[in-house]
Every structure is written in structure tokens, then in C-alpha cells.
A and B are shown apart, each in its own frame.
Chain A
Amino acid sequence: MSKTPFSEGITAGRLSAAELSENFGDLHPRFDDHEALVAADRCYFCHDAPCMTACPTDIDIPLFIRQIATGTPEAAARTIFDQNILGGMCARVCPTETLCEEVCVRETAEGKPVEIGRLQRYATDTLVDAGVHPFKRAAATGKKVAVVGAGPAGLAAAHRLAMHGHDVTVYDARPKAGGLNEFGIAAYKSVDGFAAREVDWLLKIGGITIETGRALGAGLSLDGLKATHDAVFLGIGLGGVNALGVDGEDKDGVEAAVDFIAELRQASDLASLPIGRDVVVIGGGMTAVDAAVQAKLLGALNVSLVYRRGRDRMNASEFEQDLAASKGVRIITNASPKAVIGNGAVREIEFAYTDDDLNPTGDTIRLAADQVFKAIGQTLEGEGLPALERGKIKVDDAGRSSVAGIWAGGDCATGGDDLTVTAVAEGRDAAEDIHATLMA
């Protein structure tokens, strides 16, 4: 007998293939030509545009939109890629509602910003889909740079270094390059294997070798890399998952949200992916929303997202919160996990209600749960890293770590805000500093 959302326990096949395909379709499909022109026409070509200032990678947004409006999306793509080589993924995953679009003057004027993210996707897809790589590699410098981590920071650094003529080897612990773009983002934000296609397209610059299945500590040492390369860039992300720190956390069915998201992204058949009937996600960031929404889309009957503070403190943007709510996720705030209850496997989870300062009010609530996803933050893992600050590799504005010859960027380093686009900016800027250092 086939399963339904009402079926008990953690089980696969709650929804039909057709329903799953519909649920996991493109969240914001690409604009067609007409939609792009209409959207581009709304841009005022502002002076010293607020959207540009808000973009961590400083993309010249008014210029690329004007290039779209005048029928040259290829030139628009070039403008974007000049600043952000992963502009295609950023167009899909950037929380534009809290970055460029939030400050768009038409948001001020009409409460409806120019749809910058979707226009960026229109432009970047034009070149990526055509397989056209718009940059050429400079003459070889003979310098070798090791990049550890093939996520947004590492890829951005590698591309910029290769463009300047250096030979780059990118090491990544996973079996595929892409980092969080490939393993850590909701499937409906990056359909049709875009993350992998984007990596292939990026590598067309030449001069970059990717070695997967190579992790620091597992046959790869920082000292070894330093000895064999002229510079090292660390973009290793945050490999560890914070624990709830409550009784019963080790029960079956309590999992890291990032693992669920990664498994889902790599699944070839969503119908074979098991999901609970009563799912509880703990956390208030993008990872929590991605896990909760996807659990619902897989056919979970009840999905609750529980956050310890108020909605206004959630890291997930208002858009993400609304998306979760629209998909049927119940958002519970001001509740901290107290105990995971169950005999072997989780059956219920108890929360204590708290005020905004996290003081318990004395009230508790128990939610039925056959699956619990932890999404309360990730931590840096690794031995022998350069000096840390607040749990991250301490870097200066140029991405230099405490150790000469080692740069770092992205989520593993200080200074960022755990966004793809920020990681790209940091990787790019560190690469420029590495280049300047090596050529000095």
C-alpha cells in the first residue's frame, strides 16, 4: 500500500512523483525576454545606486539592468561576472529582499522594488546556458596556489587567481565541488543541476584543478600545502553542527538539518527519500527554513519550525518566513528545546517558552515528532588552523590569516555574514591580495 502524508513514522514516498516534481520546481523561474524587458524598464539608473552599495560584491546593478533593457543581456552578464563570478547562483539564493532590493528606490517609492535578483538570473543564465565563458586567462605566472574548499569562497578565489595566470589546485572533502551551493541550499532554489553546471562553466577559465575527496587532516596538511604552494586560501566553511544540549538528543530521528538538505540535494529520486510525518525543525536561519519547507514539500503532514527568540530576531528573511508559512510550515517562536522524549527513537520534543531574553516563563509545550532537524548553527572544525577569533579563522580586510602565506574567506573566516554572496566577495578580494603579494 502506498504511503501518504498521514502514514506514521519516517517513510519515503508520501507524495506521487508528479506532486514532488511540482513541489520542487524552480522557486523563481527565469524571466522570459518580455518579462525581463518590462522589469528592466522600471530601473531608474540611480546615481551611486543604493542597490550597488548594498551588494556585498558591488555589482554595477544599474548598468547591467540597462544592458538588459537595451537588448544585450550578454554584456549584462559580463558586468555581473566582473564582480561576482558566481552571479548565477547568487541570483538564485541571495536574500535580495534584505540586500539590493530592500534599498531599491522603487521599494521606497512604491513598495515594489525592481526585481534585481531575477534580472540578474536572466542575464547570467544567458551566458552560462550558452556555455560562453567571458574571461581569458592572463599569461602563466608559474605561481601555484592551493585553495581548500570548493564552495563559493574557494571557487571565487580560484577563478580570480586563475584569471591572473596562477596555477590553482582546489581541494574539497566532498565527492563534488560546489560546497553549500551543491549541498547546502534548498533544491527549489537551484534546479536542473545548476550548481554543478556553474562549476563546470567557471572552470572554463582554465588553470584550475579540482581534487575532491581531499580534506584537511585526512592526508592533506596545511604545512604540506604551504610547502608545495606559493599561497594557500582556506574556504573550508563550517563543518560541525551545534548540538541542542538537551536530554535525549542522541535518539534516533534527531538529525542535522544540513545533512538532510545535502541528502535531498543529491537524491536522484525524491520519492525514495524518507521523511517523518511529524517533523520539528529547531532554528531560525535559512538552513532551518530550507529544511522545514523541504520536509513539507516531501509530504510531511506537520512541520513546525521552532525558534528560541521572536520572529524579528530570526536570521531567515521575512520572505523566507513567509515562504515557509505559505507552504504550511508552522512557525513557533520564543521556545527553547528542553528534552527529546522517546524510547530509542524520538516521539515527542518538549520546549520551554521563554521571553525575549531567553528566560523561561514556566510554560512548556510538547510537539509530536518522529523526526527532528537541528539547525541552530554550525561550527568550524579542524586542527592546526591559523589563529581563531570567536570560533572562526581571524582574517584582516584582505583575507590574510595570522600565518603568512595563508588567506581565508567565507563562512570559516571572521568578518562575513554567512551568505553565499559575501563568501564570493571575500574569496575574490583575498585572491586579489594573494595576486598582489605574489607579484610584488
Chain B
Amino acid sequence: MADLTSEFIGIKSPNPFWLASAPPTDKEYNVRRAFEAGWGGVVWKTLGEAGPPVVNVNGPRYGAIHGADRRLLGLNNIELITDRPLEVNLEEMTRVKRDYPDHALIASVMVPCEEKAWKDILPMIAETGCDGFELNFGCPHGMAERGMGSAVGQVPEYIEMVTRWAKEATGLPVIVKLTPNITNILYPATAALNGGADAVSLINTINSITSVNLDVMSPEPMIDGKGTHGGYCGPAVKPIAMNMVAEIARNPETAKLPISGIGGVTTWRDAAEFMALGAGNVQVCTAAMTYGFKIVQEMISGLSQWMDEKGYESTADFVGMATPNVTDWQYLNLNHVTKAVINEEDCIKCGRCYAACEDTSHQAIEMSEDRVFTVKDDECVACNLCVNVCPVEGCITMKTLEPGDMDERTGQPVSPDYGNWTTHPNNPSVQAAE
């Protein structure tokens, strides 16, 4: 059986599934139950300065979007960092770490952008026995208005500066948590690297308004008739998060920077995908908040089964394996030709492929009077929309044409050669170079 034991920047945990810094990790009661349920590690909910803690709103903190059957697809929140006193959190962390020495316990931290603040608090937190720190440069709401969280994460110079302070203040590993509310993730990632970060974790939540109350005319969650942007997370953000992870993993300058992948991880497969793109482990929040701690059991069994099937003995065997296959559009092989194929046996005759293709794409699907749907190879550009809208998994597939096969759409045989945009005759810069 596959070994799920994880070692991430020297921090060991029974598996690569950590709970992200968030409400599930705000207190001892939760964290103990999470470890008992099987989670490999937790990033304790972000600690702030000593003294009177922050306060939260006393109305709704979360908004959501749902898919069919009210399946929660996206969640946003306007909750701040821990609103419990620092000393209470530290006492609890100490007890938990003492009782669970083999599980990872990371302290998430956010204090004002002053050297003294960071250098005072990190050694104090280190006394809990925690395994490392995560610098919260990501929270997009509330704390950012006070010059913390994403207000730091959006300025690479600040990231580098604070990361350096942190590394000077502690010998423990330091993870820098990045905000996605930027235009190019490589700048903050590079800044973290330059500041001496041991790793980055991403993504934090995305600025969002999930819904509008059409009676009151206010964003939700609504507090006394007003709303504010919250941080968006859950399955809906996974594609955005994975792209950012891949960008960092495939960029030569940041390629060696370990990544803790965060963003919509809900199943073992999500975790495997993040890790294949270069994340050394994953952090989970929304899935636990939706289904409870027990979901980690499926993540463990699923990842383990898949690794066995693929012959991977440890997670390190497949981490980053997909990274080399993430490329720029201009390098995609334009001589690779596929066509959609509809399996009539599996087809339930809903006609969604037809509606999608006929109304919005390439008019490449034919519908007979008795509702048999057939792809017109001479029109099909292989866009994949029919595959995506079909309710039956595997009913529509893409068939790759072999070199020499006729592409009925272009009337040309499929070329055996690799050919991309950089060498394509229609590319003006190619012509300019001639």
C-alpha cells in the first residue's frame, strides 16, 4: 500500500492533507477532532498581536453559490483572523502539539508591517512547539483595510521585507501564504523567495460578491443592509488556484520553491491534481466546512488507491509530474487533430450537445428525427464543448486522428510533424523574421 507520509519543508505529517488556516482550525476542540478524524496537519487560524483581539461581525459571515441539488460550489467569507486572545490560542496550541507530536502544527500569523511586531511574536509562538509559520499575506477583507493581509501580499517589496524579518526571528520553517488578488503570481512568489521563504502556500481567498439580495438591494452576506466583498473559496476557485500553482512551479526562478496547494481541494483527485502540478501537499478548508472532518477518509483512501494503481510508493513520486506539460499556447501542437465521437449506446438523447454546438459553436452535430446525434467530421473543430455539456460521463469522447488520416474539415491529411504557432505561416512574426 502506498505510503502517504508527507514531508514538506522538513515538516512531517501522516499524510499530505492539512487543514488550512480558517475557522476549522480556530481552537483546540476542533483541531483535536480533526487529528482524530485523520487530518495530517493543521495551520492554526491566524494569530494576531497580543492585547484586545479583533472583533467579528455579529451577522452572517458567509455567502455561497450552489450547483444542482444545492451542492455548495463556492463560499465566501468576511471573517477576520482569530478573535480569541493570543494567550488562549498559544496555550491550546501547546497542549495539542504535545498530544499530537507526529502531526503537523503550523502557526499562521498576521501582525502589522513593523519589524518589532514580527520579531516579538514569532519567538513567543515558537514556544508552543509548533512546526513552522505561515505568514498570512492573503486575507482580502477587513485586515487588508488595516494594512495587513493582502495589503502586504499585493506589494512584493513588503512580502520580501516581512519574510526576511520572519526568517531572522525564527529558525523554524516559514511559509508565505499568497493572495490571488494580483495580476501575476510570479511577482509575490519571487518576493517570498528573495525574502528567504521556505515555501509558499496558495491561494488565499479571492475578492468576491457571491450574491445580491434583490429585496434589500445589498450584497450577501448582508450586515444591517450593507455588504462587503468577501474571500471566495471552495470548488469554484480550484482552476484559478491550480493555474497559479503551475505558474510558480514551471517558472525557472521559482521552480524550486516548495508549494503548499490551496483552493477548492474537495476530493483525493483534487489533491492529486494540485500535487501533480507541483504542490508538495495540500490544504483544505471549504470541503471540511461543507461536509465535516470525515471527508479526509475518502481523500486518504482515494489517493492511496490511485497511487497503488499507478505504482507510486510515496507522494514525492508524482509531485510535479504534470509541471513540464504546462506550457504556453504558442507551443501547442497545431498538427494534432481530434474529432468528437458520440457513443450512441451511452447516449440518453438529451440533445444538449446538439443545442450547444448548433447554437453556440460550429454546427458540427447532426440530429436525426429519432434523436440520434452524430458528429460531422467535416465541421468538427474538436472544441470539446459537447463533451463538457453532456450529462453522461464518457458518452462523448475525443478521437485523435493518426498521422496521414484525412481531416475532413480541412481536406488535408494529418501531418506527422509537430508544428506550433511559432513556426506557423500565419504568424506575422514568423513572416517578419524571413
Residues of B within 8 A of A50 (CB): 349, 371
10 inter-chain pairs at a CB distance below 8 angstroms, sorted by A residue, are A46-B351, A47-B350, A47-B351, A47-B354, A47-B355, A47-B367, A48-B367, A105-B349, A108-B349, A109-B348
Residues of B within 8 A of A105 (CB): 348-350
Contact B68 A41 (CB under 8 A): yes
Question: Is A319 an interface position by the 8 A CB rule?
Answer: no
Q: How far is the CA of A106 from the CA of B355 in the complex (A)?
A: 18
Question: Is B60 an interface position by the 8 A CB rule?
Answer: no
Q: How far is the CA of A37 from the CA of B68 in the complex (A)?
A: 9
Q: How many residues of B contact A (CB 8 A)?
A: 14
Contact A48 B351 (CB under 8 A): yes
Question: Is A6 an interface position by the 8 A CB rule?
Answer: no
Question: Is B352 an interface position by the 8 A CB rule?
Answer: yes
Contact with B along A89-122 (1 / 0, CB 8 A): 0000000000000000110110000000000000
Question: Is A38 an interface position by the 8 A CB rule?
Answer: yes
Contact A41 B355 (CB under 8 A): no
Residue from the set A38, A44, A49, A108 with the largest chain B CB neighbour count within 10 Å: A44
Residues of A within 8 A of B352 (CB): 44-47
Q: Which of B69, B348, B351, B355 contacts A108 (CB 8 A)?
A: B348
B residues neighboring A (CB under 8 Å): 68-70, 348-352, 354-355, 367, 371, 391-392
Q: How far is the CA of A419 from the CA of B352 in the complex (A)?
A: 31
Q: How far is the CA of A59 from the CA of B391 in the complex (A)?
A: 23
Q: Which residue of B lies closest to A69 (CB)?
A: B68
Contact with B along A272-283 (1 / 0, CB 8 A): 000000000000
Residues of A within 8 A of B348 (CB): 105-106, 108-109
The 4 closest A-B pairs by CB, nearest first: A47-B351, A47-B355, A105-B348, A41-B68
Residues of A within 8 A of B354 (CB): 47
Q: Which of B350, B367, B371 contacts A44 (CB 8 A)?
A: B350
A-B interface contact total, Cβ < 8 Å:
35
Closest beta carbon of chain B to A380's beta carbon, Å = 35
Q: Which of A41, A46, A48, A109 contacts B69 (CB 8 A)?
A: A41
Q: Which residue of A lies closest to B71 (CB)?
A: A41
Closest beta carbon of chain B to A228's beta carbon, Å = 47
Contact with B along A34-56 (1 / 0, CB 8 A): 00011001101111111000000
Q: Which residue of A lies closest to B346 (CB)?
A: A109
Closest beta carbon of chain B to A7's beta carbon, Å = 51
Q: A46-B351, A47-B355 are in contact. List 14 more A-B contacts (CB 8 A).
A: A37-B70, A41-B69, A45-B352, A46-B349, A46-B350, A46-B352, A47-B352, A48-B367, A49-B351, A50-B349, A50-B371, A108-B348, A108-B349, A109-B392
Q: Which residue of B lies closest to A47 (CB)?
A: B351
Residues of B within 8 A of A38 (CB): 69
Q: How far is the CA of A49 from the CA of B349 in the complex (A)?
A: 9
Residues of B within 8 A of A108 (CB): 348-349
Residues of A within 8 A of B70 (CB): 37, 41
Contact with B along A1-43 (1 / 0, CB 8 A): 0000000000000000000000000000000000001100110
Q: How far is the CA of A159 from the CA of B354 in the complex (A)?
A: 37
Q: How far is the CA of A47 from the CA of B350 in the complex (A)?
A: 6
Residues of A within 8 A of B349 (CB): 46, 50, 105, 108
Q: How far is the CA of A416 from the CA of B352 in the complex (A)?
A: 32
Residues of B within 8 A of A47 (CB): 350-352, 354-355, 367
Q: How far is the CA of A42 from the CA of B352 in the complex (A)?
A: 14
Q: How far is the CA of A263 from the CA of B371 in the complex (A)?
A: 46
Q: How far is the CA of A106 from the CA of B70 in the complex (A)?
A: 19
Residues of B within 8 A of A41 (CB): 68-70
Contact B391 A109 (CB under 8 A): yes
Q: How far is the CA of A198 from the CA of B42 in the complex (A)?
A: 61
Residues of A within 8 A of B367 (CB): 47-48
Closest beta carbon of chain B to A132's beta carbon, Å = 21
Q: How far is the CA of A42 from the CA of B354 in the complex (A)?
A: 19
Q: Which residue of B lies closest to A109 (CB)?
A: B348
Q: Which residue of A lies closest to B390 (CB)?
A: A44
Residues of B within 8 A of A106 (CB): 348
Q: How far is the CA of A49 from the CA of B371 in the complex (A)?
A: 10
Residues of B within 8 A of A109 (CB): 348, 391-392
Q: How far is the CA of A109 from the CA of B351 in the complex (A)?
A: 13
Q: How far is the CA of A49 from the CA of B354 in the complex (A)?
A: 12
Closest beta carbon of chain A to B71's beta carbon, Å = 9
Closest beta carbon of chain A to B410's beta carbon, Å = 28
Closest beta carbon of chain B to A109's beta carbon, Å = 4
Q: How far is the CA of A45 from the CA of B353 in the complex (A)?
A: 12
Closest beta carbon of chain B to A66's beta carbon, Å = 12
Q: How far is the CA of A48 from the CA of B373 in the complex (A)?
A: 13
Residues of B within 8 A of A45 (CB): 352
Q: How far is the CA of A41 from the CA of B69 in the complex (A)?
A: 6
Q: Which residue of A lies closest to B371 (CB)?
A: A50
Q: How far is the CA of A105 from the CA of B347 in the complex (A)?
A: 9
Residues of A within 8 A of B355 (CB): 47
